[in-house]
Structure 1
Amino acid sequence: MTHAYGTATTVPEMLEKVTSDDPAMVERALHDLSGTIYHQGWVYPATVPAVTALYELVSVPTTHHRPRILGLISDIATAVWDLEEHDEAEYDDPPLATVLEWARAARAAVESGIPTLLTLLKDADPSVRAAAPSVLADFPAHDPDLVPRLQEAAGTEEDAGAAASMILAVGDLCADRVDQPLTWLREQTADPRREVRAAAAVAALWCDTDDDLLDAITEEIQAPDSALDDQLWVLDGGRTGFLIAAIGDHPAPQIQVARDALAVPTTSAVHRAGEVMRTWRAAPAELLPPLADLLASDFTKDAVWEIKQGGPDIALVTDSLLPLLNDADDLIAGSALEALARAGDARCVQALAADLAEPRLSFHPSAALAGMKEHANTLLAPIREFLAAPKKGTGFAGNHLTSVMKALATWDDRALPLLPEMIALLERRKAVPATAQALAALGPAAAEAVPFLRRFLGRKHGPQTSQNAAWALWQITGDAEEPLRYLQGTLRSALNDEETERPRVQAAGPSTDRITTDRTYQAAATTALARIAHRNISREPPTDRSAP
């Protein structure tokens, strides 16, 4: 009989400690059991007899931490579900088939205790009555059906938390059924207890109802405390996380809940709105205006931080951002400047130029300047002055000069008037990798920079510097032979490095025919060809569309 760490000789002692009158000793014993008979999603031969003992212990009213015991029993019951998704190749000794055999035996042991769980629905302790349904919900196929027993118990339950848990268990058990108790769930949404209404709304959503039940969920999210707090249902992500997850696949409800939460704002509500905006395309247009309404409140800093990440729809609230450019708080003013710049608002040009001259604000110059490329002509002079004598910046976004050069790489030929300053940076060995990126974006127009870029080829300059210089040379000259000698390593690893290397192999199509027969480049060429064949996202596609 074994557990996670070998022979299970200590399990009886751990179980004996669970009977202690000392709550702290019981807690330690349960912690030890969680790391032995159930460990990182695995169960073991010793788990089966331990389940029987755990049921005996949880049935004794004087046992401490009974909800936690039920939580451990639930973990044991559901271990097989994750293990069934594993690959046999990941297992050696014991093989996956053996591990699954243990897990199925442990689940069967838990299911055999369902009569005990049903008895616990009438336990004197409401926390136990609330915990038992979450274990019953692990057995949707149990015969006889558990739903009627849970409905009956919920109908007479006086404790709001226990009743809510029973309703959630009904919803969980019925989520994939054809015959769902939607009428019963709708009746529960009229319960006078807030937690019960919220649980019924969540359960109905799990059953894919089209009913408008969001008010109940919003009310529960905004409540300062709840009978749902600390229940097994909400342990992983907290009450708010659990309720939000219930509507996770429904963008309209998520947006509405986030908007309603902003009506009674909290810091977490503001940042939750930001998460929703970054998740759903329709969200910024709905959530940016209520976030802008908070710019003159105690939540200014949080609101403007989320607004600046709102994408093109930031344009909807730029008038509300303008006054913040003069805010005494550098982060507020910097976030407002970045938001306006990301939206391409010409009214922030003066503030952006001033910060290039004397960096003070906390923002990301790369994102801000990239958004202002349509106003490049008005920013050329302050950027030219900055490149001549770069300022260190606040450190908020890393190296200030590097950030500026990364932005210029998005300007394409709008940055061509700054070519002399870029070459001067190479001569002074300043921000060479980012400068090479900006020069690469200029293409053949940056021919003057070629001799300066060649100085940075080779290992002694560091891989990033050498690779960026080689890539820039390729883009400027159109000749792949010299750059490929320095890009071989990065092309070989490109399949594992999505962001940095993808552009290099996207543009490689026209040149691969000259290198596939050269042993020096075969590995790199194979990788490049794989990219081109499987990702039709090249910035400049090959002329011959039929090419592999």
Structure 2
Amino acid sequence: MDLAPLFAGLDAQPWATYQHAYGSAADVPDCLRALVDEDDEQAGEALGELYGSILHQGSVYEATAHAVPYLARLARAGFRTADVLALLGGIAEGGADEGEGDEAACRRAVTAQLPLLLASVEAGSADVRRAAVWAAAMTGATERVRPVLRTRFATEAEPLVRAEILGGLAHLDPAGTADLAAGAIGPDGPGELRVAALLACVDAGAPWSAAHHEAMLDLLPADELVAARMDLERNEPLRYVVSELLLRDTDTDRDAVFRLLDAALRSERSEARTEALWAAESACQISRSAPDRVAGPLAAAVLEDPEAVGQALSLLRLLGRRAAAVAPALADVAEGDGDLADRALEALVSVAPEQAVPLLPRDLENRPRALGAACGGLLGASPTVPFDAGLLAAVRARLAAPEKLRDNEPFRYAVLLSSWGHRAAPALPDLGTALRMHPQPMARALAAVCPPDHREATGGLLRRAARSGPPEARLAAARAVWQLTEDAGPLLGVLAEQLTDGGRVREAATAAAELGPRAAELAPALVAAASTPGASRVIPHLDADVAIAEALWRITGRAEEALRLLAGVLGETGMSWIRWTFVRAARVAARLGDEGRPLVPELEKLLTHPLHTPAAVLALHTIAPGTLDVRAAAGLLLDSAEDDADAATALEALLALGPDALTEDHARRLTALAERDLRVTASGVETTIVATDDRLREQAGQVLRALGAGPTAAGA
């Protein structure tokens, strides 16, 4: 075959100037040519490189649209047609209908290939037809694509292609596809089509009926039925159904979900129970009532089949004490060895910490997950296990051989012992032994656990550590001396050095702020350590400037330098993406009180961004309350909270504004934050969403009662 027409004009394109996920797209022509390689392995590698560069994790780029015509030529000529059509579908999915950006250009480029896509829907292998259906639907060109797909649905015999057609129609026209979907969920059809029909019914907003319920249960396990589908968003059907029904936020749909999960969790098929567990996790992350509704069926399923404990560990961690009935079964698994025992003990820490404590000391060094959970997890939460002499002895044994400590062990032990305070004093010698190899965590722990009669000896040990070693270790030891003895000398010396060498300015400034006026001698060094306005500054520079501003204010009580630094940070309007830096700057501005008035114009600009609004309102309310329209500000704060944009600070700011800021609508919205079923917290580390939102719900209720608004207050 003459390949020249396929690549006509390819080298005339300025590929080196186009951008993809990894920068210059100069490599795209070679990848396109490699797709016609007779060596399938070489062609497959080229396809993988294109997915990584021009469609990276679903994102499209400038070079992507320019590659589309060549991909279409290759598909038309029969080179890896199904694979290339699937790539075109992904590009269309990552595109956009409107605008002038790369996304819109990509969607237009694929839409221009609809003659090829629609012709391929009617011909070729089943794999080609499936890919063509997917790509055509992803263009969003409903009026052109829908008639072709409906016609093909009536004649297509291959179940997977029919399922793809039904999914494509549901994507283009959910309500208009309800009739086809309703007719395809019956027990006589192939499973691939039935599950696609169920998902289409959900997308169409159809009420969840007994027929839907029975069909979903009959199809479990359902993941294998969609494994070959192009639609990755719905690759876990039960989880998708549960999530979408809960997001409807009606009592009827919630009841339907929990009846479905109850039945699925009790299934005789292990694979079905596994899918039900995953779906129940999603339910708990979406619905506040889900943990209570899921705990009973889960406990019943586990108690009936103890082997199900291993499958349920992730969900049990989310349920916490609600799953106390399962604690004995968890403990049985946790008493074993290996990774499963470690994960079971990790879950037991959440479900019944008092039962987990006696199991932790055995083989402590080989239970990293359980130890992490006991010490508060990844995000620095407080330890959850009570003081236990046996656990203390096990920790001491590990600290006595500091060279054997692995990974996060030193930090975990330091956090745990610090939470126990003086009760952990017997570990002082062991902490001293570990101080040499792990100075940062051990210094903090020494200060936290040291009783009054050991302060002199422990202080001497820490002073020696503050005189030698790497900068971060010396700083930790010097801060511990200050915390333990209120002797600021070692800390002042270390901070003076670190501010001068510029390596850890933010940490040094934060420590100086803790000293307050005692750090007066550091003021010149703090001023000198600030970044230079107009220079090429990045987030660490700006974060350090915020810390320096706070330190100078707390040390000197004068606002001039703090104002200059904060204005420099808040004025970085071209860096709106720095997000949390602005929040920190606004919080420091609030501490200046009336003297922060020069910052009012910059703070007012922050009111337009939901993440910045709460801290900006707090600052303006403190600095210049007369400049705030409190009712408008309350509305903005509620917008932030409802959008999960620093919701905790938004509630703090609402409380500061007081009851006069609330209209009836504000009170209704605040009540919803405290009492609605849908979680407010929907982002972040999956394992923390439930706990974070539970705390937020409690905070919203407290604010509601304090402001005397809503039914929660009335019934209090």
TM-score, normalised to structure 1's length? Answer: 0.68
Q: Which residue of 2 aligns with 1:403?
A: 412
Task: Say what the alpha-carbon RMSD is for the aligned residues.
Answer: 5.4
Mapped pair 1:426 → 2:432: yes
Range with bigger deviation, 475-484 or 447-456: 475-484
Q: Which residue of 2 aligns with 1:158?
A: 157
Q: Secondary structure of the equivalent of 1:192?
A: coil
Range with bigger deviation, 212-221 or 461-470: 212-221
1:193 pairs, out of 190, 205, 215, with 190
Question: 1:402-448 CA distances to partner (integer Å, 9 max, x unpaired)?
Answer: 4222112334xxx2133363366236625442233335656996982
Instruction: Give the whole-Å Cα distance in 2 for the aligned partners of 1:342 and 1:38.
Output: 40
2:507 pairs, out of 475, 479, 490, with 490
Mapped pair 1:41 → 2:60: yes
Question: 1:8-53 CA distances to partner (integer Å, 9 max, x unpaired)?
Answer: 9999998888778886676577568768987872336854642562
Q: Secondary structure of the equivalent of 2:202?
A: helix
Q: 1:390 to 1:2 in 2, by over 3 A?
A: same
Q: 1:440 to 1:366 in 2, by over 3 A?
A: farther
Instruction: Give the whole-Å Cα distance in 2 for the aligned partners of 1:317 and 1:28.
Output: 48
**1:349 Cα deviation after fit:** 4.5
Q: 1:292 to 1:355 in 2, by over 3 A?
A: same
Does the Cα contact within 8 Å between 2:96 and 2:107 map onto a contact in 1?
no
The correspondence of residues 216-231 of structure 1 with structure 2, limited to 5 A, is 216=215, 222-223=221-222, 225-226=224-225, 228-231=226-229
Mapped pair 1:133 → 2:133: yes
**1:146 Cα deviation after fit:** 3.0
Q: Could you list the runs of 5+ residues in structure 2 that have no partner in the other structure? A: 1-11, 19-24, 247-253, 377-381, 499-503, 512-537, 570-580, 591-613, 619-647, 658-716
The correspondence of residues 442-461 of structure 1 with structure 2, limited to 5 A, is 448=455, 449-457=458-466, 460-461=468-469
Instruction: Give the whole-Å Cα distance in 1 for the aligned partners of 2:325 and 2:416.
Output: 24
Q: What letter matches 1:368 in structure 2?
A: A
Q: 1:338 to 1:321 in 2, by over 3 A?
A: same
Does the Cα contact within 8 Å between 1:366 and 1:405 map onto a contact in 2?
no
Question: 1:247-279 CA distances to partner (integer Å, 9 max, x unpaired)?
Answer: 655556888569826732249649846864884
Q: Secondary structure of the equivalent of 1:81?
A: coil
Instruction: Give the whole-Å Cα distance in 1 for the aligned partners of 2:104 and 2:193.
Output: 34
Q: 1:450 to 1:5 in 2, by over 3 A?
A: same
Q: 1:496 to 1:396 in 2, by over 3 A?
A: farther
How many residues end up aligned between the 2 structures? 497
Question: 1:25-84 CA distances to partner (integer Å, 9 max, x unpaired)?
Answer: 765775687689878723368546425624632xxxxx3532212123324445543996
Q: What letter matches 1:203 in structure 2?
A: A
The correspondence of residues 239-388 of structure 1 with structure 2, limited to 5 A, is 240-241=235-236, 244=239, 248=243, 251=246, 260=264, 263=267, 264-266=269-271, 269=275, 272=278, 276=282, 279-280=285-286, 282=289, 284-285=291-292, 286=294, 288-289=298-299, 292-293=302-303, 296-297=306-307, 301-304=310-313, 307-308=316-317, 310-327=319-336, 329-353=337-361, 363-368=369-374, 375-376=386-387, 379-380=388-389, 383=392, 386-387=395-396
Q: 1:405 to 1:453 in 2, by over 3 A?
A: same
Q: Secondary structure of the equivalent of 2:110?
A: helix
Q: What letter matches 2:140 in structure 1?
A: P
Does the Cα contact within 8 Å between 1:244 and 1:254 map onto a contact in 2?
no
**1:326 Cα deviation after fit:** 3.8
**1:202 Cα deviation after fit:** 1.9
Instruction: Give the whole-Å Cα distance in 2 for the aligned partners of 1:337 and 1:465.
Output: 33
1:203 pairs, out of 200, 204, 218, with 200
Q: Percent identity?
A: 21
Q: What letter matches 1:123 in structure 2?
A: A
Q: 1:516 to 1:365 in 2, by over 3 A?
A: farther
Q: Which residue of 1 aligns with 2:600?
A: none
Q: What letter matches 1:265 in structure 2?
A: S
Q: Which residue of 2 aligns with 1:2?
A: 13
Mapped pair 1:121 → 2:121: yes
Question: 1:335-368 CA distances to partner (integer Å, 9 max, x unpaired)?
Answer: 4444434445444554445557xx6756533533
Q: Secondary structure of the equivalent of 2:140?
A: coil
**1:152 Cα deviation after fit:** 3.0
Does the Cα contact within 8 Å between 1:446 and 1:476 map onto a contact in 2?
no
Q: 1:180 to 1:461 in 2, by over 3 A?
A: farther
**1:4 Cα deviation after fit:** 3.6
**1:168 Cα deviation after fit:** 0.6
Q: Which residue of 1 aligns with 2:73?
A: 53
Instruction: Give the whole-Å Cα distance in 1 for the aligned partners of 2:410 and 2:106.
Output: 60
TM-score, normalised to structure 2's length? Answer: 0.54
Q: Which residue of 1 aligns with 2:473?
A: 465
**1:230 Cα deviation after fit:** 3.2
Range with bigger deviation, 46-55 or 8-17: 8-17
Question: 1:178-232 CA distances to partner (integer Å, 9 max, x unpaired)?
Answer: x644344323333622111211222233344442546655655615844x43343
Q: What letter matches 1:172 in structure 2?
A: H
Does the Cα contact within 8 Å between 1:308 and 1:335 map onto a contact in 2?
no
Q: What letter matches 1:199 in structure 2?
A: A
Mapped pair 1:436 → 2:443: yes
Does the Cα contact within 8 Å between 1:168 and 1:199 map onto a contact in 2?
yes
The correspondence of residues 68-217 of structure 1 with structure 2, limited to 5 A, is 68-78=83-93, 80-81=95-96, 100=102, 107-142=107-142, 144-174=143-173, 180-190=176-186, 192-212=189-209, 213=212, 216=215
Range with bigger deviation, 270-279 or 191-200: 270-279
Q: What letter matches 1:69 in structure 2?
A: V
Question: 1:148-175 CA distances to partner (integer Å, 9 max, x unpaired)?
Answer: 4322322332211111111111111125
Instruction: Give the whole-Å Cα distance in 1 for the aligned partners of 2:46 and 2:348.
Output: 57
Q: 1:418 to 1:124 in 2, by over 3 A?
A: closer
Does the Cα contact within 8 Å between 2:358 and 2:390 map onto a contact in 1?
no
Instruction: Give the whole-Å Cα distance in 2 for the aligned partners of 1:454 and 1:291.
Output: 57
Q: Secondary structure of the equivalent of 2:419?
A: coil
Range with bigger deviation, 132-141 or 214-223: 214-223
Q: What letter matches 1:182 in structure 2?
A: A
Question: 1:453-484 CA distances to partner (integer Å, 9 max, x unpaired)?
Answer: 343336x4334433433444555567889757
Q: 1:260 to 1:270 in 2, by over 3 A?
A: closer
